Amino acid sequence: MSLDTILARIDDDLPNALERLMTLLRIPSISTDPAYKKDCLTAAEWVVADLSSLGVDAEVRPTTGHPMVVGHVGEGAPHLLFYGHYDVQPVDPLNLWNRAPFDPAIEDTPHGKVIRGRGANDDKGQFMTFVEACRAWKSVTGEWPCRVTFFFEGEEECGSPSLVPFLEENAEELSAPDIALISDTSLFDRDTPGITTMLRGLLGEGLIITGPDRDLHSGAYGGAAMNPARVLSKIIASLHDDTGRVTVPRFYDGVPEINADILAQWEALGFDAAGFLSDVKLSEPAGEQGRSVLEMLWSRPTCEVNGLESGYTGDGFKTVLPSLARAKISFRLVGTQDPAQIRKDFRAMVQAQLPADCSVEFFDHGCSPASVMKTDNPAFSKAREALSEEFAKPAAFIGSGGSIPIAGHFQDILDLDTMLIGFGLEDDGLHSPNEKYDVRSFHKGIRSWARILDKLTS
Protein backbone atom coordinates (compact mmCIF):
# COMPACT_ATOMS: atom_id res chain seq x y z
CA MET A 1 0.00 0.00 0.00
CA SER A 2 1.28 3.45 -0.91
CA LEU A 3 0.26 6.50 1.07
CA ASP A 4 0.64 8.50 -2.13
CA THR A 5 -2.07 6.36 -3.72
CA ILE A 6 -4.44 7.06 -0.84
CA LEU A 7 -3.70 10.79 -1.00
CA ALA A 8 -4.35 10.75 -4.76
CA ARG A 9 -7.66 9.00 -4.11
CA ILE A 10 -8.60 11.73 -1.60
CA ASP A 11 -7.80 14.41 -4.19
CA ASP A 12 -9.84 12.71 -6.91
CA ASP A 13 -12.81 12.07 -4.63
CA LEU A 14 -13.01 15.58 -3.16
CA PRO A 15 -16.15 16.59 -5.15
CA ASN A 16 -17.97 13.51 -3.85
CA ALA A 17 -16.73 14.11 -0.30
CA LEU A 18 -18.06 17.66 -0.47
CA GLU A 19 -21.44 16.46 -1.69
CA ARG A 20 -21.67 13.94 1.16
CA LEU A 21 -20.93 16.74 3.62
CA MET A 22 -23.55 18.97 1.97
CA THR A 23 -26.16 16.26 2.47
CA LEU A 24 -25.36 16.10 6.18
CA LEU A 25 -25.36 19.91 6.48
CA ARG A 26 -28.88 20.07 5.09
CA ILE A 27 -30.19 18.29 8.19
CA PRO A 28 -31.14 20.97 10.79
CA SER A 29 -29.90 19.04 13.84
CA ILE A 30 -30.27 21.85 16.41
CA SER A 31 -30.00 20.02 19.71
CA THR A 32 -31.10 22.74 22.12
CA ASP A 33 -34.53 23.28 20.49
CA PRO A 34 -37.11 20.48 21.04
CA ALA A 35 -38.68 21.39 17.70
CA TYR A 36 -35.68 19.78 15.98
CA LYS A 37 -35.70 16.48 17.89
CA LYS A 38 -36.64 14.46 14.81
CA ASP A 39 -33.95 16.20 12.78
CA CYS A 40 -31.33 15.21 15.37
CA LEU A 41 -32.44 11.61 15.02
CA THR A 42 -32.29 11.95 11.23
CA ALA A 43 -28.71 13.21 11.47
CA ALA A 44 -27.73 10.30 13.73
CA GLU A 45 -29.31 7.86 11.30
CA TRP A 46 -27.47 9.50 8.39
CA VAL A 47 -24.14 9.08 10.16
CA VAL A 48 -24.93 5.42 10.90
CA ALA A 49 -25.86 4.80 7.26
CA ASP A 50 -22.68 6.45 6.01
CA LEU A 51 -20.47 4.47 8.40
CA SER A 52 -22.33 1.26 7.57
CA SER A 53 -21.59 1.82 3.88
CA LEU A 54 -17.90 1.54 4.80
CA GLY A 55 -18.40 -1.72 6.64
CA VAL A 56 -18.61 -0.23 10.13
CA ASP A 57 -20.86 -2.05 12.60
CA ALA A 58 -22.66 1.16 13.57
CA GLU A 59 -25.92 1.84 15.34
CA VAL A 60 -28.02 4.56 16.93
CA ARG A 61 -27.95 4.28 20.71
CA PRO A 62 -30.87 5.94 22.54
CA THR A 63 -30.40 8.19 25.56
CA THR A 64 -32.80 10.28 27.64
CA GLY A 65 -32.02 13.07 25.17
CA HIS A 66 -30.66 12.90 21.64
CA PRO A 67 -29.09 9.60 20.59
CA MET A 68 -25.46 8.60 20.43
CA VAL A 69 -23.86 6.86 17.46
CA VAL A 70 -21.41 4.05 18.18
CA GLY A 71 -19.57 2.00 15.58
CA HIS A 72 -16.78 -0.58 15.55
CA VAL A 73 -14.62 -1.78 12.68
CA GLY A 74 -11.19 -3.17 11.83
CA GLU A 75 -8.60 -5.02 13.82
CA GLY A 76 -5.01 -4.68 14.92
CA ALA A 77 -3.13 -1.97 16.75
CA PRO A 78 -3.52 0.76 17.60
CA HIS A 79 -7.15 0.84 18.62
CA LEU A 80 -8.44 4.40 18.00
CA LEU A 81 -11.59 6.00 19.34
CA PHE A 82 -12.78 8.90 17.18
CA TYR A 83 -15.27 11.38 18.66
CA GLY A 84 -17.41 14.03 17.00
CA HIS A 85 -20.84 15.63 17.39
CA TYR A 86 -23.57 15.81 14.79
CA ASP A 87 -25.66 18.50 16.51
CA VAL A 88 -25.35 22.20 15.72
CA GLN A 89 -26.04 25.60 17.25
CA PRO A 90 -29.28 27.54 16.65
CA VAL A 91 -29.14 29.92 13.67
CA ASP A 92 -30.54 33.08 15.26
CA PRO A 93 -30.47 35.88 14.26
CA LEU A 94 -31.64 34.53 10.93
CA ASN A 95 -31.72 37.95 9.25
CA LEU A 96 -27.90 38.18 9.48
CA TRP A 97 -27.37 35.13 7.29
CA ASN A 98 -26.58 35.74 3.62
CA ARG A 99 -28.21 32.45 2.67
CA ALA A 100 -30.45 29.88 4.36
CA PRO A 101 -28.35 28.21 7.10
CA PHE A 102 -29.38 24.69 6.08
CA ASP A 103 -29.04 25.29 2.35
CA PRO A 104 -25.24 24.88 2.20
CA ALA A 105 -23.20 25.95 -0.80
CA ILE A 106 -19.64 26.37 -2.01
CA GLU A 107 -18.85 30.09 -2.24
CA ASP A 108 -15.90 32.01 -3.65
CA THR A 109 -14.17 34.40 -1.24
CA PRO A 110 -10.94 36.45 -1.42
CA HIS A 111 -9.18 33.62 0.47
CA GLY A 112 -10.56 30.84 -1.72
CA LYS A 113 -13.60 28.59 -1.79
CA VAL A 114 -15.56 28.02 1.41
CA ILE A 115 -18.37 25.72 2.51
CA ARG A 116 -21.13 27.99 3.84
CA GLY A 117 -23.79 26.68 6.23
CA ARG A 118 -24.54 25.85 9.85
CA GLY A 119 -22.30 23.02 11.02
CA ALA A 120 -19.84 23.43 8.15
CA ASN A 121 -17.04 23.68 10.69
CA ASP A 122 -18.62 22.87 14.06
CA ASP A 123 -18.54 19.90 13.91
CA LYS A 124 -19.88 18.16 10.81
CA GLY A 125 -17.18 19.34 8.43
CA GLN A 126 -14.51 18.59 11.01
CA PHE A 127 -15.50 15.03 11.88
CA MET A 128 -16.15 14.14 8.24
CA THR A 129 -12.45 14.77 7.51
CA PHE A 130 -11.63 11.64 9.50
CA VAL A 131 -14.48 9.63 7.99
CA GLU A 132 -13.39 10.59 4.47
CA ALA A 133 -9.77 9.65 5.21
CA CYS A 134 -10.97 6.22 6.31
CA ARG A 135 -13.15 5.97 3.19
CA ALA A 136 -10.16 6.61 0.93
CA TRP A 137 -8.00 4.14 2.86
CA LYS A 138 -10.66 1.42 2.58
CA SER A 139 -11.22 2.18 -1.11
CA VAL A 140 -7.53 1.82 -1.99
CA THR A 141 -6.51 -1.04 0.29
CA GLY A 142 -9.77 -2.92 0.74
CA GLU A 143 -9.29 -2.92 4.51
CA TRP A 144 -9.07 -0.66 7.57
CA PRO A 145 -5.71 0.62 8.79
CA CYS A 146 -6.39 -0.55 12.36
CA ARG A 147 -9.19 -1.07 14.82
CA VAL A 148 -11.43 2.01 15.05
CA THR A 149 -14.33 2.87 17.35
CA PHE A 150 -16.55 5.74 16.24
CA PHE A 151 -18.43 7.70 18.89
CA PHE A 152 -20.69 10.62 17.98
CA GLU A 153 -23.06 12.53 20.24
CA GLY A 154 -26.00 14.83 19.53
CA GLU A 155 -25.99 17.13 22.56
CA GLU A 156 -22.58 18.82 22.56
CA GLU A 157 -24.11 22.21 21.74
CA CYS A 158 -26.59 22.01 24.63
CA GLY A 159 -24.27 20.93 27.44
CA SER A 160 -24.07 17.15 26.78
CA PRO A 161 -26.55 16.16 29.54
CA SER A 162 -26.60 12.51 28.42
CA LEU A 163 -22.86 12.15 27.82
CA VAL A 164 -21.44 11.29 31.25
CA PRO A 165 -24.20 8.77 32.09
CA PHE A 166 -23.70 7.14 28.69
CA LEU A 167 -19.92 6.93 29.13
CA GLU A 168 -20.32 5.46 32.60
CA GLU A 169 -22.90 2.91 31.47
CA ASN A 170 -20.81 1.89 28.43
CA ALA A 171 -17.33 2.27 29.89
CA GLU A 172 -16.42 -1.37 29.32
CA GLU A 173 -17.18 -1.08 25.60
CA LEU A 174 -15.57 2.33 25.07
CA SER A 175 -12.48 2.16 27.30
CA ALA A 176 -10.51 -0.40 25.28
CA PRO A 177 -8.89 2.01 22.72
CA ASP A 178 -5.29 3.17 23.01
CA ILE A 179 -6.10 6.83 22.38
CA ALA A 180 -9.08 9.09 21.62
CA LEU A 181 -9.08 11.47 18.66
CA ILE A 182 -11.18 14.63 18.38
CA SER A 183 -11.46 17.01 15.44
CA ASP A 184 -13.21 20.07 16.88
CA THR A 185 -10.35 22.58 17.13
CA SER A 186 -8.42 24.86 14.78
CA LEU A 187 -5.22 25.38 12.90
CA PHE A 188 -2.90 27.96 14.43
CA ASP A 189 -3.08 29.79 11.10
CA ARG A 190 -3.75 28.81 7.48
CA ASP A 191 -0.32 27.25 7.03
CA THR A 192 0.49 26.08 10.57
CA PRO A 193 -1.28 23.01 11.99
CA GLY A 194 -1.54 22.46 15.71
CA ILE A 195 -2.27 19.67 18.15
CA THR A 196 -4.17 21.14 21.08
CA THR A 197 -2.65 19.81 24.28
CA MET A 198 -4.23 22.12 26.85
CA LEU A 199 -7.85 23.11 27.30
CA ARG A 200 -8.87 25.55 29.98
CA GLY A 201 -11.64 24.59 32.36
CA LEU A 202 -14.57 26.86 33.14
CA LEU A 203 -16.37 27.95 36.29
CA GLY A 204 -19.39 30.26 36.12
CA GLU A 205 -20.83 32.21 39.04
CA GLY A 206 -23.81 34.53 39.29
CA LEU A 207 -24.48 36.72 42.31
CA ILE A 208 -27.10 39.22 43.43
CA ILE A 209 -26.36 41.64 46.27
CA THR A 210 -29.44 43.09 47.94
CA GLY A 211 -29.56 46.11 50.25
CA PRO A 212 -32.77 48.07 50.90
CA ASP A 213 -36.06 46.29 50.30
CA ARG A 214 -36.89 48.55 47.33
CA ASP A 215 -35.31 51.19 45.08
CA LEU A 216 -34.89 54.45 46.97
CA HIS A 217 -34.82 58.13 46.09
CA SER A 218 -31.12 59.08 46.13
CA GLY A 219 -31.90 62.52 47.53
CA ALA A 220 -33.97 61.18 50.40
CA TYR A 221 -31.70 58.23 51.27
CA GLY A 222 -28.35 58.88 49.58
CA GLY A 223 -25.49 58.83 52.10
CA ALA A 224 -27.59 57.15 54.79
CA ALA A 225 -28.56 53.93 52.94
CA MET A 226 -26.04 51.37 51.72
CA ASN A 227 -25.93 51.13 47.91
CA PRO A 228 -25.58 47.52 46.61
CA ALA A 229 -23.98 48.82 43.38
CA ARG A 230 -21.21 50.38 45.45
CA VAL A 231 -20.73 47.12 47.36
CA LEU A 232 -20.59 45.02 44.21
CA SER A 233 -18.21 47.45 42.52
CA LYS A 234 -15.81 47.20 45.44
CA ILE A 235 -15.96 43.39 45.37
CA ILE A 236 -15.29 43.26 41.63
CA ALA A 237 -12.41 45.71 41.95
CA SER A 238 -10.86 43.47 44.60
CA LEU A 239 -10.71 40.40 42.33
CA HIS A 240 -7.41 41.49 40.71
CA ASP A 241 -4.31 43.18 42.05
CA ASP A 242 -2.34 45.89 40.23
CA THR A 243 -0.25 43.27 38.36
CA GLY A 244 -3.28 41.49 36.90
CA ARG A 245 -3.18 38.50 39.25
CA VAL A 246 -6.45 37.09 40.60
CA THR A 247 -6.76 37.61 44.37
CA VAL A 248 -9.20 34.83 45.27
CA PRO A 249 -7.48 32.84 48.07
CA ARG A 250 -5.64 29.68 46.89
CA PHE A 251 -6.62 30.52 43.28
CA TYR A 252 -3.20 29.59 41.88
CA ASP A 253 -3.03 26.20 43.60
CA GLY A 254 -2.48 23.66 40.81
CA VAL A 255 -1.38 26.20 38.18
CA PRO A 256 1.75 24.79 36.48
CA GLU A 257 4.57 26.54 34.70
CA ILE A 258 4.86 25.54 31.03
CA ASN A 259 8.01 23.61 30.15
CA ALA A 260 10.70 25.24 28.04
CA ASP A 261 10.12 23.04 24.97
CA ILE A 262 6.45 24.03 24.70
CA LEU A 263 7.26 27.70 25.28
CA ALA A 264 9.87 27.51 22.51
CA GLN A 265 7.27 26.05 20.13
CA TRP A 266 4.89 28.87 20.97
CA GLU A 267 7.60 31.47 20.43
CA ALA A 268 8.43 29.94 17.04
CA LEU A 269 4.83 30.42 15.91
CA GLY A 270 5.49 34.14 15.45
CA PHE A 271 2.19 35.15 17.02
CA ASP A 272 1.39 38.81 16.37
CA ALA A 273 0.15 39.89 19.81
CA ALA A 274 -0.14 43.54 18.83
CA GLY A 275 -2.16 42.66 15.75
CA PHE A 276 -4.36 40.29 17.75
CA LEU A 277 -5.33 43.11 20.09
CA SER A 278 -5.53 45.82 17.44
CA ASP A 279 -8.10 43.73 15.53
CA VAL A 280 -10.53 44.55 18.36
CA LYS A 281 -9.28 48.15 18.83
CA LEU A 282 -7.10 47.41 21.87
CA SER A 283 -3.39 47.96 22.42
CA GLU A 284 -2.28 46.70 25.85
CA PRO A 285 -2.51 43.15 27.31
CA ALA A 286 -4.61 43.21 30.48
CA GLY A 287 -3.56 39.91 32.08
CA GLU A 288 -0.74 39.00 34.44
CA GLN A 289 2.35 41.13 33.98
CA GLY A 290 5.40 39.24 32.76
CA ARG A 291 3.36 36.76 30.67
CA SER A 292 3.10 36.67 26.89
CA VAL A 293 -0.32 37.00 25.29
CA LEU A 294 -0.23 33.33 24.19
CA GLU A 295 0.52 32.30 27.77
CA MET A 296 -2.42 34.41 28.94
CA LEU A 297 -4.72 32.76 26.40
CA TRP A 298 -3.56 29.16 26.63
CA SER A 299 -1.90 28.42 29.96
CA ARG A 300 -2.93 30.98 32.58
CA PRO A 301 -6.17 31.12 34.57
CA THR A 302 -8.50 34.12 34.44
CA CYS A 303 -11.31 35.86 36.26
CA GLU A 304 -13.64 37.94 34.09
CA VAL A 305 -16.84 39.91 34.63
CA ASN A 306 -19.29 38.76 31.95
CA GLY A 307 -22.30 40.78 32.99
CA LEU A 308 -23.09 43.66 35.35
CA GLU A 309 -26.42 45.33 36.14
CA SER A 310 -27.87 47.64 38.76
CA GLY A 311 -30.30 50.53 39.01
CA TYR A 312 -31.77 52.47 36.11
CA THR A 313 -30.04 51.94 32.76
CA GLY A 314 -32.66 53.24 30.33
CA ASP A 315 -32.70 56.48 28.39
CA GLY A 316 -32.49 59.69 30.35
CA PHE A 317 -31.68 59.81 34.04
CA LYS A 318 -33.31 58.53 37.20
CA THR A 319 -31.94 59.47 40.63
CA VAL A 320 -32.46 56.04 42.12
CA LEU A 321 -30.53 54.21 44.80
CA PRO A 322 -30.94 50.60 43.60
CA SER A 323 -32.22 47.82 45.79
CA LEU A 324 -29.90 45.25 44.25
CA ALA A 325 -26.89 44.74 42.01
CA ARG A 326 -26.07 41.63 40.04
CA ALA A 327 -23.09 40.24 38.17
CA LYS A 328 -21.99 37.16 36.26
CA ILE A 329 -18.36 36.17 36.68
CA SER A 330 -16.42 33.37 34.99
CA PHE A 331 -13.10 31.75 35.75
CA ARG A 332 -11.03 29.99 33.08
CA LEU A 333 -8.98 27.28 34.77
CA VAL A 334 -5.73 25.48 33.97
CA GLY A 335 -3.62 22.62 35.28
CA THR A 336 -5.18 20.91 38.29
CA GLN A 337 -7.12 23.87 39.64
CA ASP A 338 -10.16 22.62 41.56
CA PRO A 339 -13.32 24.43 40.38
CA ALA A 340 -15.31 23.36 43.46
CA GLN A 341 -12.68 24.80 45.81
CA ILE A 342 -12.42 28.01 43.80
CA ARG A 343 -16.19 28.43 43.95
CA LYS A 344 -16.09 27.98 47.73
CA ASP A 345 -13.22 30.44 48.17
CA PHE A 346 -14.77 33.03 45.84
CA ARG A 347 -18.04 32.95 47.73
CA ALA A 348 -16.26 33.27 51.06
CA MET A 349 -14.33 36.26 49.69
CA VAL A 350 -17.59 37.94 48.66
CA GLN A 351 -19.29 37.19 51.97
CA ALA A 352 -16.36 38.68 53.89
CA GLN A 353 -16.82 42.03 52.12
CA LEU A 354 -20.57 42.41 52.69
CA PRO A 355 -21.63 45.24 55.02
CA ALA A 356 -24.22 44.55 57.71
CA ASP A 357 -27.24 45.69 55.69
CA CYS A 358 -26.51 43.68 52.53
CA SER A 359 -27.07 40.03 51.65
CA VAL A 360 -25.91 37.93 48.70
CA GLU A 361 -27.45 35.11 46.69
CA PHE A 362 -25.26 32.92 44.47
CA PHE A 363 -26.15 30.99 41.32
CA ASP A 364 -24.14 28.15 39.79
CA HIS A 365 -23.44 28.38 36.07
CA GLY A 366 -21.55 25.13 35.57
CA CYS A 367 -17.99 24.06 36.22
CA SER A 368 -15.42 21.80 34.60
CA PRO A 369 -11.71 21.35 35.27
CA ALA A 370 -8.98 21.94 32.72
CA SER A 371 -7.65 19.15 30.51
CA VAL A 372 -3.94 18.62 29.98
CA MET A 373 -2.92 16.02 27.41
CA LYS A 374 -0.06 13.60 27.98
CA THR A 375 2.23 14.51 25.10
CA ASP A 376 4.73 11.80 26.03
CA ASN A 377 2.33 9.34 24.37
CA PRO A 378 4.18 8.38 21.12
CA ALA A 379 1.02 9.12 19.10
CA PHE A 380 1.56 12.85 19.64
CA SER A 381 5.01 12.98 18.04
CA LYS A 382 3.83 10.79 15.15
CA ALA A 383 0.81 13.01 14.51
CA ARG A 384 2.95 16.12 14.70
CA GLU A 385 5.31 14.66 12.10
CA ALA A 386 2.41 13.73 9.82
CA LEU A 387 0.83 17.19 10.02
CA SER A 388 4.18 18.84 9.32
CA GLU A 389 4.46 16.84 6.10
CA GLU A 390 1.08 18.08 4.89
CA PHE A 391 1.33 21.79 5.71
CA ALA A 392 3.81 24.49 4.74
CA LYS A 393 4.95 25.05 8.33
CA PRO A 394 5.78 22.57 11.10
CA ALA A 395 3.01 21.55 13.47
CA ALA A 396 3.16 22.70 17.08
CA PHE A 397 1.67 21.63 20.37
CA ILE A 398 -0.67 24.51 21.16
CA GLY A 399 -3.15 25.50 23.84
CA SER A 400 -6.73 26.64 23.68
CA GLY A 401 -8.46 29.31 25.72
CA GLY A 402 -11.75 27.49 25.36
CA SER A 403 -13.15 24.35 26.96
CA ILE A 404 -14.00 20.93 25.46
CA PRO A 405 -15.26 18.90 28.45
CA ILE A 406 -15.34 15.58 26.54
CA ALA A 407 -11.53 15.45 26.62
CA GLY A 408 -11.61 15.50 30.41
CA HIS A 409 -14.40 12.92 30.52
CA PHE A 410 -12.34 10.56 28.37
CA GLN A 411 -9.49 10.90 30.85
CA ASP A 412 -11.58 10.62 34.02
CA ILE A 413 -14.13 8.00 33.00
CA LEU A 414 -12.40 5.93 30.30
CA ASP A 415 -8.75 6.53 31.30
CA LEU A 416 -8.02 7.56 27.71
CA ASP A 417 -5.43 10.02 26.48
CA THR A 418 -6.95 12.41 23.94
CA MET A 419 -5.42 14.03 20.88
CA LEU A 420 -7.23 17.10 19.53
CA ILE A 421 -6.49 17.87 15.89
CA GLY A 422 -8.72 20.29 14.03
CA PHE A 423 -8.60 22.27 10.82
CA GLY A 424 -10.81 25.27 11.51
CA LEU A 425 -9.79 28.90 11.15
CA GLU A 426 -10.34 31.90 13.38
CA ASP A 427 -12.71 33.52 10.88
CA ASP A 428 -14.99 30.48 10.42
CA GLY A 429 -17.77 32.08 12.48
CA LEU A 430 -18.52 29.22 14.85
CA HIS A 431 -21.93 29.70 16.53
CA SER A 432 -22.43 32.84 14.42
CA PRO A 433 -24.39 33.71 11.27
CA ASN A 434 -22.68 32.73 7.99
CA GLU A 435 -20.58 29.95 9.52
CA LYS A 436 -18.11 28.57 7.00
CA TYR A 437 -15.33 26.02 6.56
CA ASP A 438 -12.64 26.52 3.94
CA VAL A 439 -12.64 23.86 1.24
CA ARG A 440 -8.86 23.87 1.63
CA SER A 441 -9.24 23.09 5.35
CA PHE A 442 -11.63 20.24 4.59
CA HIS A 443 -9.36 18.84 1.87
CA LYS A 444 -6.13 19.12 3.83
CA GLY A 445 -7.88 17.78 6.92
CA ILE A 446 -8.75 14.57 5.07
CA ARG A 447 -5.20 14.27 3.74
CA SER A 448 -3.80 14.96 7.21
CA TRP A 449 -5.81 12.19 8.84
CA ALA A 450 -4.62 9.76 6.16
CA ARG A 451 -1.04 10.73 6.96
CA ILE A 452 -1.67 10.37 10.69
CA LEU A 453 -3.22 6.93 10.24
CA ASP A 454 -0.17 5.93 8.20
CA LYS A 455 2.21 7.08 10.96
CA LEU A 456 0.21 5.49 13.75
CA THR A 457 0.02 2.11 12.02
CA SER A 458 3.52 1.85 10.56
Q: What is the residue extent of each domain of the chain?
A: 3-199+371-457, 201-255+301-368
Write down the architecture of domain 201-255+301-368 according to CATH. 2-Layer Sandwich (3.30)
Count other Cβ atoms within 10 Å, centred on residue 457: 15
Contact 82, 148 (CB under 8 A): yes
Contact 106, 118 (CB under 8 A): no
pLDDT at position 1 is 61
Q: Which residues does the chain have with pLDDT short of 50?
A: none
The fold of the 3-199+371-457 domain, in CATH, is: Aminopeptidase (3.40.630)
DSSP, collapsed to helix, strand or coil, labels residue 19 as: helix
Contact 7, 443 (CB under 8 A): no
Distance CA 265, CA 188 (A): 12
Q: Can you give the C-alpha Rg of the chain in angstroms?
A: 24
C-alpha angle with apex 182: 177 to 184, nearest 5 degrees? 170
C-alpha angle with apex 148: 144 to 149, nearest 5 degrees? 145
pLDDT at position 402 is 81
DSSP, collapsed to helix, strand or coil, labels residue 372 as: strand
Task: Give this prediction's pTM.
Answer: 0.88
Count other Cβ atoms within 10 Å, centred on residue 272: 12
Distance CA 180, CA 256 (A): 24
Contact 60, 34 (CB under 8 A): no
Nearest Cα to Cα of residue 86 among 45, 134, 135: 45
Distance CA 13, CA 21 (A): 12
pLDDT at position 401 is 85
